[in-house]
Amino acid sequence: MELQNILYSKQGNIGLLTLNRPPANAINLATLLDIEKALDEAETDKEIRCLIITGAGEKGFSAGFDVSDPAGAGATGPKGQEVWTRIDRLTKPVIAAINGYAFGGGCELAMASTFRVMQENARIGLTELNLGIIPGWGGTQRMPRILGKSKALDLILFSKRLTAQEALEIGLVDKVSKVGELMKDVKEMAELLASRPPLAVKAVLNAVNTGIEKGLDEGIKVELEGIQMVSRSKDAVEGITAFMQKRKPTFTGE
């Protein structure tokens, strides 16, 4: 797999995707195409049970759209929407390890992830209006779903840049890590997620996403399909057997 602007590696059951255009890790069309390749790999590799996304260097997670991209917003904008939506709908948990500033499309990437862990000295926000443009990679949709309408509009319309603690207090991120401990904390979280039953994790992600996107009735249908699928799995037998035997279960994703 040839990659120009990201790094992708596999550590046991965890995939690690690193945006590799420091210091800002700005995202152009080539980067989005690289990310697609890594997502293909992570999605089809049965050994991968969790994906971590972070940025190279110490300064930025991602400053978002690369305004110098020769492809321009005309091509990069729709592809950014497509790739971030794919991350949002991935059948495996995704953790954004926010190691520096996450502005614009970088914030949108974090919000498309399942969980967000932020280093204490980092900053986050949808800052597009400062440039006379608007969030274009799902930010106008995901931020209100995470924070509610009025809070999201407050952050977007005033281009607020939040500290890690401020982001934690309003629920934009799930955990704050001390400087130097971010990847340790994120990898511990990823290991726990990787130990969960993969088929059940996939079913929960599908049901939750369907309900949020298509409403309660459709979500309930997908939930029922998930129940029927996992109840026939070897993991369900293992989970119940381990419970009866008072031991820790070992899930295989079958």
Q: What is the mean pLDDT of residues 208-221?
A: 97
Same domain (yes/no): 90, 205: no
Residue 7 has pLDDT above 90, yes or no: yes
Residue 84, pLDDT > 90, answer: yes
Query: Using CB atoms within 10 A of its CB, is residue 62 exposed (0-12), middle (13-18) or buried (19+)?
Result: buried
Domain match, 123 and 238 both: no
- Chain segment 177-211, per-residue pLDDT in tens: 999 999 999 999 999 999 999 999 999 999 999 99
Q: Is the pLDDT of residue 72 over 80?
A: no
Report the predicted TM-score, pTM, of the whole model to 2 decimal places.
0.95
* CATH number of the domain within which 77 lies: 3.90.226.10
Q: Is residue 1 part of a domain?
A: no
Domain count for the chain, please give it. 2
Q: Is residue 19 part of a domain?
A: yes
Residues 121 and 62 in one domain: yes
Residues 239 and 184 in one domain: no
Residue 67 pLDDT greater than 90, yes or no? no
Residue 42 pLDDT: 97
Based on the fold, state whether residues 206 and 186 are members of the same structural domain: no
Which tokens go with 140?
A: 């106008």
**What CATH number is given to the structural domain containing 210?**
1.10.12
Look at residue 69 in the predicted model and tell me its pLDDT. 85
Short-list 13, 29, 9, CA closest to 21: 29
Q: Are residues 131 and 81 in the same domain?
A: yes
Band the pLDDT of 74: cuts 50, 70, 90. Answer: confident
| Residues taking part in catalysis | 108, 128
Predicted pLDDT at 252: 87
Query: Are 136 and 230 contained in the same domain?
Result: no
Query: What Å distances lie between residue 202 and 82, 105, 209, 226, CA to CA?
Result: 20, 26, 11, 9
Mark whether 73 and 156 lie in a shared domain: yes
Residue 167 has pLDDT above 80, yes or no: yes
Q: Between 73 and 104, where is the model more confident? A: 104
pLDDT band at 70 (very low <50, low <70, confident <90, very high): confident
Same domain flag for 190 and 202: no
Q: Are residues 178 and 219 in the same domain?
A: no
Radius of gyration of the chain (CA): 19
Residue 109 forms part of a structural domain: yes
Domain containing residue 220: 198-244
Is there a single domain that holds both residue 120 and residue 240?
no
Q: Clarify whether residues 88 and 53 are in a common domain.
A: yes
Mean pLDDT for the stretch of residues 148-169? 98
